[in-house]
A and B are shown apart, each in its own frame.
Chain A
């Protein structure tokens, strides 16, 4: 199909100079893994270094470019520590002390990131590679003019990149300069694009997250092993960004010994809705493959099947949401010969739409198996002290992993359950309710009856009511329980984009919601079929488990149809339910989802607007300890407890929200 075309538009950025980023023998981070990767790519005929259609050349990043993220003092320190020690002759004690002090202050510990001669140049070279990769995909001027859309590479893979632990002012966890952060900062400065960074490394992507923690144009998503017992210790669910960047940092800490199935479940429940809601222009993914069960530095237990699914999902999402613009980086991966070359060959094959051969080339195995044999015992011991057991005693001969080499983890069920709980928490924190309903994470609540049957026990003949209202901006049709067939015939008004950013995606979102029997969708549309308003009514999500008869209400009105009382009428219409008095209804106003730009008002003003709108239907503001509401003073929880709600249920509800009716105004 598109193969030939796509293949021509995927590039691999690699420069032999990058191999000097190597901390020496005995250190877990060595460039031999890249040598083995390139060898595997070439010997299995997936990539040719002399084919300009498959390569992307690049320059070393300048000090100015590094300065987009790193402090001048830090860059100067790296440059100084890059000089070979002999340059400091005579090697006075004082000079040595000074050097040691510099190394200590800027994070160059002997253990993890020892200063190596020439490291400024090689680290800056690697930054240059990621910078060129992202610039090429974004069509940024290399020589003064923007590259036309159809001549740009669509995807670029830069295996030496992904040094995600480096901070602005210190080296950390084998990383000197943060190539992804510099490249992102460069694009931020040169364009108006929004950038999504997804970090699949087993370690939290702390450096990239820190660099853009208050930046709403960059969303960072990191899936990693929980920081309880793994470096760097950060990456909790509640780290969601700061200031105007709140809601744009996503952290998914996974349990130690998480396996493929659980990982896939988590990834699929989060990435698609997050992409839809953020609507990035480009995706950068970091493919640290230290998530593999054989990796000696972490406790995750994926196989190449799970790792391949990361790549497939990233590739798919790039095409669905970003016109294919995708930059993939390497990262961690400390099983240098058995895992890294295979994982990243898979990534290149995925990106360039090439089928993977079943078997590894025998000459490649012959070349690299001895290297593994030589270090096998040490690696096994390191794995053992970290709490992992390696069931495979062989060097792989196929690209894919053999199931028999990965016995089930003893606590599999507990681990999956905990991961699902984490996922629910992340969704609850970062996804507005309509998105959660359009991308359900768990099977629907009521397999036999839809929400309609539950809400209309009298069983009126027609499932859907219609009402016509006159507004100052023209007549509108209101419809409740909209079936997918109706939504398909309608279009989204150009001002309707609160949840998915673009009207056509908002339309797709509404369609997904209409297809979910657990969600009632009420629409306001013009006689011409343009949707100008929506109300959704859904079960409360996982956070409310144990509280019966609780429903979440959300509302959105097209920016062109506001201030005409449509919200009030639509809400009243949607809530004309037989069972209304038996229900607890709530609405959450979260300031980071609000369309402040188009409204031209402050969050506090918006908050009052919401409170008044919902007050018209008997909703009252409640204080609560709910984590979302608590995060920002402008956020608001509005509740309507029906008159016939069982007092026990109502008191369970009050206990859950940990608050009371707000008394101060």
Chain B
């Protein structure tokens, strides 16, 4: 899976000259926490709905893609307003500093320019690791291209094509678990990493014409044996479950394996436990 498949492409954008009050309104209106700061390409006369509504980068011609300048976060604005408030306290009667409202400040004064970016072909795993290790919430997605600068010299610039946020990753996770398709989950444990049971389950599902919406095999936390979660596109999994039981393949439905209470009462852990 690559970033291109999961990134957000409908973006609310600001320019370095946008005021902080306008940026704060955008953040609140769309409930975003980040705004990419961009500049319009030199030759591009019009930009669909820029600064009025969101820009969908998939609808932009490549030459009309915004040039990436930096990132503005809601913390930057909070900080600016806190500083202004502190300053205001000191400017109160007898103070030395002239008062100044943060609302009128331009984005360029507080934006971050040294932002980590990724490209559309970066792997999602690498991007996720970057987000977690650097403690980031968001990565701008850029492509590099030669563009015409003011003095007619061509130079390499970063074109903004999207934004990868933690939410995008969570949605991608939910989607790869099949959550947007109607279905029912069955867990197949595979002790000692032996995938035979999972493979047999998938074969049986195919034989019974039961569509598999997703199949994720991964070790769960702690000392629980690795488990495969198979999402079946059926309202009636019983025929498959009967076949699983006949083939002595353990499975669980209706109770998570690590909840354990019901299982513990009826069957000791580790023992093949069809159903509950």
Judge if B48 is at the interface, Cβ distance under 8 Å: no
Judge if B171 is at the interface, Cβ distance under 8 Å: no
Q: What residues of chain A lie closer than 8 Å to B29, measured between beta carbons? A: 633
Contact of A233 among B184, B256, B276 (CB under 8 A): B184
Q: What residues of chain B lie closer than 8 Å to A633, measured between beta carbons? A: 28-31
Judge if A230 is at the interface, Cβ distance under 8 Å: yes
B179 and A663: CB pair below 8 A?
no
Q: In the complex where A174-B235, A203-B235 touch, is A231 in contact with B253 (Cβ < 8 A)?
A: no
Q: What residues of chain A lie closer than 8 Å to B133, measured between beta carbons? A: none
Contact of A387 among B74, B209, B256, B275 (CB under 8 A): B275
Q: What residues of chain B lie closer than 8 Å to A411, measured between beta carbons? A: 261-262
Per the 8 Å Cβ criterion, residues 184-229 of B in contact with A are 184-185, 208-211
In the assembled complex, the Cα of A165 lies from the Cα of B18 at a distance in Å of 48
In the assembled complex, the Cα of A61 lies from the Cα of B149 at a distance in Å of 63
Judge if B245 is at the interface, Cβ distance under 8 Å: yes
A232 and B235: CB pair below 8 A?
yes
Q: What residues of chain B lie closer than 8 Å to A172, measured between beta carbons? A: 182, 235
Judge if B58 is at the interface, Cβ distance under 8 Å: no
In the assembled complex, the Cα of A9 lies from the Cα of B241 at a distance in Å of 46
B233 and A229: CB pair below 8 A?
no
Residue picked from B182, B183, B185, B265, most chain A C-beta under 10 Å: B182
Contact with A along B226-239 (1 / 0, CB 8 A): 00000101111111
In the assembled complex, the Cα of A111 lies from the Cα of B182 at a distance in Å of 14
B182 and A173: CB pair below 8 A?
yes
In the assembled complex, the Cα of A385 lies from the Cα of B237 at a distance in Å of 9
Judge if B132 is at the interface, Cβ distance under 8 Å: no
Please give the distance in Å from A282's CB to the nearest CB on chain B: 28
In the assembled complex, the Cα of A296 lies from the Cα of B276 at a distance in Å of 14
A386 and B265: CB pair below 8 A?
no
Judge if A447 is at the interface, Cβ distance under 8 Å: no
Per the 8 Å Cβ criterion, residues 303-319 of A in contact with B are none
B235 and A165: CB pair below 8 A?
yes
A386 and B182: CB pair below 8 A?
no
Contact of A297 among B77, B238, B261 (CB under 8 A): B238
In the assembled complex, the Cα of A381 lies from the Cα of B241 at a distance in Å of 10
B183 and A232: CB pair below 8 A?
yes
In the assembled complex, the Cα of A174 lies from the Cα of B182 at a distance in Å of 12
In the assembled complex, the Cα of A165 lies from the Cα of B236 at a distance in Å of 13
Contact of A384 among B31, B183, B234, B275 (CB under 8 A): B275
Judge if B242 is at the interface, Cβ distance under 8 Å: yes
Judge if B122 is at the interface, Cβ distance under 8 Å: no
Q: Which of B2-10, B38-46, B78-86 contacts A (4 or more CB under 8 A)?
A: B78-86
Judge if A353 is at the interface, Cβ distance under 8 Å: no
Judge if A125 is at the interface, Cβ distance under 8 Å: no
Closest A residue to B186 by beta carbon equals A229
Q: What residues of chain A lie closer than 8 Å to B274, measured between beta carbons? A: 385
B235 and A112: CB pair below 8 A?
yes
Residue picked from B85, B208, B233, B261, most chain A C-beta under 10 Å: B233
Contact with A along B4-37 (1 / 0, CB 8 A): 0000000000000000000010001111000000
Closest A residue to B103 by beta carbon equals A665
Judge if A234 is at the interface, Cβ distance under 8 Å: yes
A206 and B236: CB pair below 8 A?
no
Judge if A287 is at the interface, Cβ distance under 8 Å: no
Judge if A145 is at the interface, Cβ distance under 8 Å: no
Judge if A600 is at the interface, Cβ distance under 8 Å: no
Closest B residue to A297 by beta carbon equals B236
Q: What residues of chain B lie closer than 8 Å to A612, measured between beta carbons? A: none
Q: In the complex where A297-B236, A664-B81 touch, is A382 in contact with B182 (Cβ < 8 A)?
A: no
In the assembled complex, the Cα of A384 lies from the Cα of B242 at a distance in Å of 9
In the assembled complex, the Cα of A414 lies from the Cα of B78 at a distance in Å of 44
In the assembled complex, the Cα of A206 lies from the Cα of B208 at a distance in Å of 25
Please give the distance in Å from A169's CB to the nearest CB on chain B: 13
Judge if A51 is at the interface, Cβ distance under 8 Å: no
In the assembled complex, the Cα of A378 lies from the Cα of B201 at a distance in Å of 21
Residue picked from B181, B236, B276, most chain A C-beta under 10 Å: B236
In the assembled complex, the Cα of A404 lies from the Cα of B27 at a distance in Å of 60
Per the 8 Å Cβ criterion, residues 242-259 of B in contact with A are 242, 244-245, 253-256
Judge if A110 is at the interface, Cβ distance under 8 Å: yes
Q: What residues of chain B lie closer than 8 Å to A174, measured between beta carbons? A: 235
Please give the distance in Å from B174's CB to the nearest CB on chain A: 11
In the assembled complex, the Cα of A207 lies from the Cα of B159 at a distance in Å of 41
Q: What residues of chain B lie closer than 8 Å to A228, measured between beta carbons? A: 185, 256
Closest A residue to B84 by beta carbon equals A663
In the assembled complex, the Cα of A411 lies from the Cα of B265 at a distance in Å of 11
Contact with B along A370-389 (1 / 0, CB 8 A): 00000000000110111100
Residue picked from B82, B209, B235, B274, most chain A C-beta under 10 Å: B235
Contact with B along A229-253 (1 / 0, CB 8 A): 1111110000000000000000000
Q: In the complex where A232-B183, A411-B261, A633-B28 touch, is A663 in contact with B236 (Cβ < 8 A)?
A: no
Q: What residues of chain A lie closer than 8 Å to B181, measured between beta carbons? A: 233
Contact of B238 among A109, A229, A234, A382 (CB under 8 A): A382
In the assembled complex, the Cα of A414 lies from the Cα of B260 at a distance in Å of 13
Q: In the complex where A110-B209, A172-B182, A234-B182 touch, is A387 in contact with B77 (Cβ < 8 A)?
A: no
Closest B residue to A173 by beta carbon equals B235
Q: What residues of chain B lie closer than 8 Å to A663, measured between beta carbons? A: 78, 81-82, 85
A109 and B209: CB pair below 8 A?
yes
A297 and B235: CB pair below 8 A?
yes
Judge if A410 is at the interface, Cβ distance under 8 Å: yes
Q: What residues of chain B lie closer than 8 Å to A327, measured between beta carbons? A: none
A382 and B234: CB pair below 8 A?
no
In the assembled complex, the Cα of A259 lies from the Cα of B185 at a distance in Å of 23
Judge if A208 is at the interface, Cβ distance under 8 Å: no
Contact of B254 among A112, A296, A386 (CB under 8 A): A386
Q: What residues of chain B lie closer than 8 Å to A109, measured between beta carbons? A: 209-211, 233-234
Q: What residues of chain B lie closer than 8 Å to A410, measured between beta carbons? A: 262, 265
Per the 8 Å Cβ criterion, residues 508-528 of A in contact with B are none
In the assembled complex, the Cα of A206 lies from the Cα of B182 at a distance in Å of 9
A233 and B242: CB pair below 8 A?
no
B254 and A299: CB pair below 8 A?
yes
Judge if A28 is at the interface, Cβ distance under 8 Å: yes
Judge if A574 is at the interface, Cβ distance under 8 Å: no
Q: In the complex where A206-B182, A232-B183 touch, is A664 in contact with B77 (Cβ < 8 A)?
A: yes
In the assembled complex, the Cα of A203 lies from the Cα of B182 at a distance in Å of 11
Per the 8 Å Cβ criterion, residues 140-190 of A in contact with B are 165, 172-174
In the assembled complex, the Cα of A108 lies from the Cα of B128 at a distance in Å of 37
Judge if A256 is at the interface, Cβ distance under 8 Å: yes
Known: A232-B184, A385-B245, A633-B30. 15 other contacts (CB 8 A): A109-B209, A111-B210, A111-B236, A165-B182, A172-B235, A233-B181, A233-B183, A385-B244, A386-B238, A386-B241, A410-B265, A633-B29, A633-B31, A663-B82, A664-B74
Contacts from B to A (Cβ < 8 Å): 24, 28-31, 74, 77-78, 81-82, 85, 179, 181-185, 208-211, 231, 233-239, 241-242, 244-245, 253-256, 261-262, 265, 274-276
Query: What are the nearest 9 A-B pairs in CB distance?
Result: A232-B182, A110-B209, A385-B241, A382-B238, A387-B276, A231-B235, A173-B235, A387-B275, A231-B184
Contacts from A to B (Cβ < 8 Å): 28, 109-112, 165, 172-174, 203, 206, 228-234, 256-257, 296-297, 299, 381-382, 384-387, 410-411, 414, 633, 663-665
> What are 23 A-B interface contacts by the 8 Å CB criterion?
A109-B209, A109-B210, A111-B211, A111-B239, A112-B233, A112-B235, A165-B235, A228-B185, A229-B253, A229-B254, A231-B182, A231-B184, A233-B183, A233-B184, A233-B231, A257-B254, A382-B239, A387-B275, A387-B276, A411-B261, A633-B29, A664-B24, A664-B74
